[in-house]
Amino acid sequence: MTTATVAKPKAPAPGKGSRRMSLPVLLLIIAGVLVLTSAVRLITGADGITSTGQMSTALRLAVPIGLAGLGGLWSERSGIVNIGLEGMMILGTWFGAWAGYQWGPWVGVAFGIIGGALGALLHAIATVTFNVNHIVSGVALNILALGTTRYLSKFTFADAPQGSSKQSPPVDSLGSFDIPALSGWLDTLNQKHWFVVSDIAGLVGGLVTDLSPLTVIAVALVPFSWWVLWRTSFGLRLRSCGENPVAAESLGVNVYKYKYIAVIISGAFAGLGGAFLSLVASNVYLDGQTAGRGYIGLAAMIFGNWMPGGLALGAGLFGYTDSLNLRGGTVNVHALILLLAILLVFGAAYLVWKKKYVPALITAVISAGMFLWYVSTDDVPRQLVTATPYLVTLLVLSLSAQSLRMPKADGLPYRKGQGK
């Protein structure tokens, strides 16, 4: 008599197949951070950390980062790594300001999109058609975009009124608006400095105050991208190219076409982010205006685990830290040191609960150092405030790297028919 043996399913390897954080848990974490932030504001007296003006500035600074991140999302979901986002943003800033000066700001927006898309087309030709290493192509594009715009500026802006070889003449504004009644009421509530209530009013008030039409468009592109990529057959085919292009080809998907489309859309988003910098964030093109926002957008996309919602949170975080440099930075950053120290205490407790004792000990030591830094100083160096966005970028990526899941074929070379 034989006994049939049934193979037991293998347990998932550590770090693989882990569940994504559910929406209720995410909302609970956000609520907890908001309560802690409000408590820190009351303890330190740094009311600016959740003021309406701070949040409005943060939104304005988050938009170009978010658009660059959306560009990276589209490209990498098709399997093409896009380090060239910075160069595409540079092209968007220059073409946006040039066309905006000639024919008006909305034409500038269109040309900014076209400029970024042209840069993306070069990246697509190199990576998709000629199978050039994605990192090499992206870095080359960044260098090419920087050199091209500097060259073009010398004979387009240098002799123009109020222009120079490194700056365009002023461009007409797209205008801004507030949500009637709601904006003023929320600002008044924020000025009360009540626990949590005023902080929520400041957060929401920043989203409805001093809005540019381009800001509304940029915010709307986040759910639109999610809908296209995850709720349409087009998006399914595009994402299949980034997960398993050989299988996608076997099912009749034109992998080359979808990769080209994704990369060009990626450049259009980055170019729109560049146009936002030269038409909304300021009304001129400046040499070096992007200041690494293309790379930070890429970091926001990675922080968001290649998902639009997480990307939006990452862009908001980086935009907020960038805004500290513009509005009472030293006082606010000093208060946020205390907030970070408290959050690290909770992080250490979580690691102990997960029985990761060595990381928990390291986290606790860092937290103690942050507490000591806070109580031993009344201010922070201005240089630290300036470097805060970049420090946060490094910190967030280092902490989130263990729980990320990139598209399986992202960055891998592909040739048509290679699965046969």
Instruction: Give the rounded distance of the alpha carbon of 192 from its chain centre.
Output: 32
Mean pLDDT computed over 405-414: 91
Give me the percent of the chain exceeding a pLDDT of 70.
92
**Would you say 266 and 72 are in contact if contact means Cβ atoms under 8 Å apart?**
yes
Q: Is the pLDDT of residue 10 over 60?
A: no
Mean pLDDT computed over 197-222: 93
Give residue-wise pLDDT tens across range 334-359. Answer: 888 899 899 889 989 988 998 989 98
- Residue 17 is predicted with a pLDDT of 41
Distance (Å, whole) CA 168 – CA 177 = 25
Give residue-wise pLDDT tens across range 112-161. Answer: 999 999 999 999 999 999 999 999 999 999 999 999 999 999 989 988 88
Q: Which residues pair with 144 in a beta bridge?
A: none
| Fold classified for 49-176+211-317 | ABC transporter involved in vitamin B12 uptake, BtuC (1.10.3470)
Which backbone phi and psi does 286 adopt, to 5 degrees? -125, 140
pTM for this prediction = 0.90
Sign of the alpha-carbon torsion through 72, 73, 75, 81: positive
